Amino acid sequence: MERLTQSQLDNKNEKISDTSLSIAERKIAYKEVMDQTLNPNELFNPQTFDPMSEDPDYEVKKRLRVKHIGKLETMGMNPKKQLEGQMVGMFESKQDLYLLFANKINDLIDRVDELERKLPNK
């Protein structure tokens, strides 16, 4: 998809709110705006994507993408208790969501390691 200029984005946003247009036309404008919003880099590469790349201090803040091996760091912390009936993620901070996933993933890693130890050597 070709990148929209700021004036084109403004025009699309006006179309979204314009009740004189059909719902179909408004949905098309919304999709075009969301496509650009959700895909800010024209040449997206998941191996090098960095939302901070436009920051003037990027060279100081840059973080490399690497494949994580082994357990995820939790610093011994557990996530907060989930409330019954609550949709996970509704009220949790990013830290609590990370801890929820990291603790579950680390439990699974322990279980897989235990099963592998029980397998006969081939």
Give residue 108's pLDDT.
96
Span 74-80, mean pLDDT? 90
Whole-Å CA distances, 116 to 67, 108, 119: 22, 12, 5
> What is the C-alpha separation between 121 and 108, in angstroms, rounded?
22
pTM of the model: 0.52
Residue 49 has pLDDT above 80, yes or no: no
